[in-house]
């Protein structure tokens, strides 16, 4: 990248753990490039969560996605975000908002960052409507049980998720995405879809009863994930998007 083009005020830092990068992230980054000369996708090494992918894997996957885009740089960072932004010669943090629940957390975070470094500003972009419901947490929950999350993440990340959870790539015929009860006696409600027709009750409660289930998503979540979905309290640092699931999911 030509560093001469990275003028203060025209370089934005888009931070997150990106575990993994989703199409919602990609959309926001590309839209950010319409506003700023350059966008740095800053992959956080420090996270309270236990990432599925290592830091090197997350950086490498994002680099593959944005290869050929000279205005987009991917690099890891450690420590305070505002310190990294200042070292990078920027004064803008780019963040995404999906819902009101995102705003509450992001508002606090932006004010704290401003308290630490008053010259660094936070700019928010609203997510595209088609990505309103997805997060890295939900993507991983579906992929872990064989759900077809194709179209929700870039192709290279789709492949990596399938491999990480031990499922064939591309999607094979071994997975029967049945609806409702199926032969396995699923309990997931009208929205629960599962392997072999056995819809997981936790997934049904978390997404199915919420009125919206993306095509082909898998069934079942851990108790923690189920509580998070039902209570709208997903990790507030969900890959640079802020927290929470939409309180009312669309039914289109």
Which structural domain, as residue segments, surrounds residue 219? 136-231
Tell me the residue ranges of DSSP E strands in the chain: 11-16, 38-44, 72-77, 92-97, 121-126, 178-179, 193-194
Domains held by the chain: number: 2
- Tell me whether residue 144 is in a domain: yes
Q: Are residues 177 and 84 in the same domain?
A: no
How many Cβ atoms are within 10 Å of 117's Cβ, its own excluded? Answer: 16
Contact 48/237 with Cβ under 8 angstroms?
yes
pTM across the whole model: 0.67
- Residue 119: band (very low, low, confident or very high) from pLDDT cuts 50, 70, 90: very high
- Name the residue among 142, 132, 164, 133 with its Cα closest to residue 58: 164
Q: Is residue 164 flagged as an active site residue? A: no
Which member of 101, 136, 144, 201 is catalytic? 136
Q: Are residues 119 and 146 in the same domain?
A: no
Q: What is the pLDDT of residues 171-206, one digit of tens each?
A: 654 444 333 333 333 333 333 333 333 333 333 334
Q: What is the pLDDT of residues 143-153, one digit of tens each?
A: 999 999 999 99
- Mean pLDDT score, 117-128: 95
Residues 6+ apart with CB under 8 A from 217: 138, 142, 147, 148, 149, 193, 203, 207
Q: Are residues 168 and 197 in the same domain?
A: yes
Q: Are residues 122 and 176 in the same domain?
A: no
Q: What is the pLDDT of residues 211-249, one digit of tens each?
A: 333 333 333 334 333 333 333 333 334 444 333 333 333
Q: Is residue 69 flagged as an active site residue? A: no
Q: Are residues 110 and 153 in the same domain?
A: no
Strands of the 72-77 sheet, one edge to the other: 72-77, 38-44, 11-16, 92-97, 121-126
pLDDT of residue 101: 76
Q: What is the pLDDT of residues 24-76, one digit of tens each?
A: 999 999 999 999 999 999 999 988 889 999 999 999 999 999 999 999 999 99
Q: Are residues 52 and 90 in the same domain?
A: yes
pLDDT of residue 187: 35
Task: Answer yes or no: is pLDDT of 1 > 50.
Answer: no
Which member of 5, 49, 87, 119 is catalytic? 49
Q: Are residues 121 and 143 in the same domain?
A: no
Q: Is residue 49 flagged as an active site residue? A: yes
Q: Are residues 209 and 100 in the same domain?
A: no
Q: Is residue 98 flagged as an active site residue? A: yes
| CATH number of the domain residue 58 falls in | 3.40.50.620
Which member of 58, 71, 95, 98 is catalytic? 98
Which member of 25, 58, 95, 140 is catalytic? 25
What DSSP line would sit under 38-67, residue for residue? EEEEEEES--SS--SS-HHHHHHHHHHHTT
Q: Are residues 51 and 90 in the same domain?
A: yes
Q: Are residues 150 and 184 in the same domain?
A: yes
């Amino acid at each position: 990248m030509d560093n001469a083009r990275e003028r203060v005020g025209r370089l934005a830092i888009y931070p997150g753990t990106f575990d993994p990068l989703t199409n919602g992230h990609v959309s926001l980054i590309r839209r950010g490039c319409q506003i700023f000369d350059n966008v740095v996708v800053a992959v956080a090494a420090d996270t309270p969560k236990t990432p599925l992918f290592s830091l090197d894997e997350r950086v490498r996957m994002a680099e593959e996605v944005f290869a050929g885009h000279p205005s987009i740089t991917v690099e890891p960072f450690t420590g305070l975000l505002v310190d990294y932004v200042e070292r990078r010669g920027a004064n803008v943090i780019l963040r995404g908002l999906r819902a009101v629940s995102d705003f509450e957390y992001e508002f606090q975070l932006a004010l704290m960052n401003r308290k630490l470094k008053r010259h660094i500003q936070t700019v928010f972009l609203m997510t595209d409507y088609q990505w309103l419901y997805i997060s890295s947490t939900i993507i991983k929950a579906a992929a872990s049980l064989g759900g077809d999350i194709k179209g929700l993440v870039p192709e290279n990340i789709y492949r990596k998720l399938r491999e990480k959870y031990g499922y064939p790539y591309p999607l094979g015929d071994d997975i029967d995405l049945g609806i409702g009860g199926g032969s396995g006696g699923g309990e997931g409600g009208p929205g629960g879809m599962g392997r072999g027709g056995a819809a997981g009750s936790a997934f049904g409660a978390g997404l199915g009863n919420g009125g919206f289930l993306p095509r082909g998503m898998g069934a079942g979540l851990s108790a923690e994930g189920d509580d998070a979905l039902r209570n709208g309290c997903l990790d507030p640092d969900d890959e640079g998007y802020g927290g929470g699931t939409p309180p009312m999911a669309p039914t289109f």
